[in-house]
């Protein structure tokens, strides 16, 4: 590995600790986030040193230090910057609980120590005395690219420590970095490992995300990558959940925008938490009112729409259908329609495409993502547009918007039935969702109605 020289402004007391270790015959480096911050031109919040000395040897040269953990970390006291953590070069064995290593041993070299770390941007070491930067995984290049990438195989890193999935989101929010696509895919693939992680540790990462500069970025990623439910499943229920005409956005979009506003205003933690949680649980569609419903009726092959006062014309069409099909319809369309229907529409056979996707792929996603990836099309508008048109009395624009969404839903259904898959676009990449549609009724065998209330 070629030697890279870097000169950084190091806190005096950190340099003094390094000098004491060196004079005692122990190699040592500042490591991890300390080096990352220095490369980025930031003042490190915490200083960490890795050394060839064992904990007992570290305490011998720093008699006033303390050592109260199983990971070998010794706390060295300083007057102006608090505690500097000094840890022996480490090796770690299997992680049977997906959180802690089963066994820890001391490594011989700094390279071995860096190989066990989570992300390339943290797998960095700097020798204060020589100026050598040890960068075996191209972490400095990833810092320049503003990219979060695991050290080695992301599946292995997340199986070692599932909390690293939330740490990736936290670094994205703190540094305003992107997460590499392979690393994103591994988060989705290994999401269920988070069930082994204590709620307290997830909470700690959430707090760090909330208080960061870009919390909405990380939490939107949590939703897209399928790990939002480990914060609270109630947040997931707000995805795609429209609100009444007083609101321009879905419940989830509203919460993200509220939190983003609080972050931009640099409000304290308790205000940010209030902004993010204030509408949690607001996912009961029966609290809303229907303005207009659009449908496709396969019996007649026609699209049509109905205002609230025209719903009596819709009921006979639904009652003749062998199956109702929708997108987020089980949680939204049917409960809202049932508020007006003089019976129970849930007794009619029903297929919710989004539910099928979540059961297969483990996460929810937007209709627009699927339409763009599968059909090469986009929605003609969004809920905020529809609310604006409603307030302006532009009913025909709302009719078109709702019918266009129904048309996309039908085309996605037809594509899935033919190809046993759907495709969604995310981060510029196309991703497949394999679906078993053998139990779905075919259009030629039954009458089906697609609906979308607004």
Contact 396, 292 (CB under 8 A): no
Q: Distance between CA 300 and CA 313 in Å, rounded?
A: 15
Q: What is the pLDDT of residues 379-423, one digit of tens each?
A: 988 777 887 888 889 999 999 999 999 999 999 999 999 999 999
Helix, strand or coil, per DSSP, at residue 105: strand
* pLDDT, average across residues 349-366: 86
CA dihedral 96, 99, 105, 106 (to 10 degrees): 160
- pLDDT at residue 71 is higher than 70: yes
At CA 248, angle to CA 346 and CA 402, rounded to 5? Answer: 50
Neighbours of 286 (CB within 10 A): 9
Q: What is the pLDDT of residues 157-207, one digit of tens each?
A: 999 999 999 999 999 999 999 999 999 999 999 999 999 999 999 999 999
Q: What is the pLDDT of residues 284-319, one digit of tens each?
A: 666 667 889 999 999 899 999 999 999 999 999 999
Q: Distance between CA 328 and CA 344 in Å, rounded?
A: 18
Neighbours of 74 (CB within 10 A): 26
Helix, strand or coil, per DSSP, at residue 430: strand
Sequence-separated (6 or more) residues with CB below 8 Å from residue 307: 291, 292, 395
Domains of the chain are 4-139 (3.30.460.10), 154-283 (1.10.3090.10), 290-453 (no CATH)
**What does the pLDDT read at residue 56?**
93
Quickly state the pLDDT bin for 97 (edges 50, 70, 90): low
- pLDDT at residue 40 is higher than 90: yes
Biggest alpha carbon distance in the chain? 89
């Amino acid at each position: 590995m070629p030697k890279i020289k870097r000169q950084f402004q190091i806190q005096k007391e950190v340099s003094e600790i390094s000098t004491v270790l060196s004079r005692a015959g122990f190699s040592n480096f500042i490591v991890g986030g300390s080096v990352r911050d220095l490369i980025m031109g930031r003042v490190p919040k915490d200083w960490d040193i890795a050394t060839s000395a064992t904990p007992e040897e570290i305490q011998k040269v720093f008699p006033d230090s303390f050592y109260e953990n199983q990971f070998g970390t010794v706390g060295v006291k300083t007057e102006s910057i608090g505690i500097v953590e000094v840890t022996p070069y480490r090796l770690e064995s299997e992680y049977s609980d997906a959180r802690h290593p089963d066994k820890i041993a001391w490594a011989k070299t700094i390279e071995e120590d860096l190989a066990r770390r989570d992300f390339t941007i943290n797998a960095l070491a700097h020798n204060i005395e020589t100026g050598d930067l040890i960068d075996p995984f191209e972490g400095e290049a990833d810092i320049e690219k503003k990219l979060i990438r695991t050290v080695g195989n992301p599946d292995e890193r997340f199986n070692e420590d599932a909390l690293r999935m939330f740490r990736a989101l936290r670094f994205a929010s703190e540094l305003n970095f992107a997460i590499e696509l392979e690393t994103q895919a591994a988060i989705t693939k290994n999401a269920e490992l988070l069930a082994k992680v204590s709620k307290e540790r997830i909470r700690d990462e959430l707090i760090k995300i909330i208080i960061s500069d870009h919390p909405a970025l990380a939490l939107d990623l949590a939703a897209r990558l399928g790990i939002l439910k480990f914060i609270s499943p109630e947040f997931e229920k707000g995805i795609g959940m429209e609100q009444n005409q007083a609101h321009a956005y879905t419940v989830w979009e509203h919460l993200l925008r509220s939190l983003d506003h609080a972050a931009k205003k640099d409000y304290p933690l308790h205000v940010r938490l209030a902004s993010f949680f204030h509408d949690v649980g607001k996912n009961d569609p029966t609290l809303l009112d229907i303005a207009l419903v659009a449908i496709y009726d396969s019996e007649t092959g026609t699209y049509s729409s109905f205002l609230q006062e025209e719903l009596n014309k819709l009921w006979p069409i639904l009652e003749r259908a062998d199956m109702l099909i929708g997108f987020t319809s089980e949680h939204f369309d049917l409960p809202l329609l049932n508020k007006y229907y003089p019976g129970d529409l849930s007794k009619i056979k029903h297929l919710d495409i989004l539910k099928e996707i979540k059961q297969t792929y483990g996460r929810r996603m937007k209709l627009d993502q699927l339409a763009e990836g599968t059909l090469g099309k986009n929605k003609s508008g969004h809920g905020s547009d529809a609310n604006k048109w409603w307030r302006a009395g532009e009913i025909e624009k709302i009719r078109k918007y709702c019918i266009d969404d129904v048309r996309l839903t039908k085309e996605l259904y037809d594509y899935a039935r033919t190809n046993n898959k759907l495709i969604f676009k995310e981060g510029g990449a196309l991703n497949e969702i394999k679906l078993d549609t053998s139990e779905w009724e075919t259009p030629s065998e039954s009458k089906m109605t697609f609906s979308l209330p607004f």
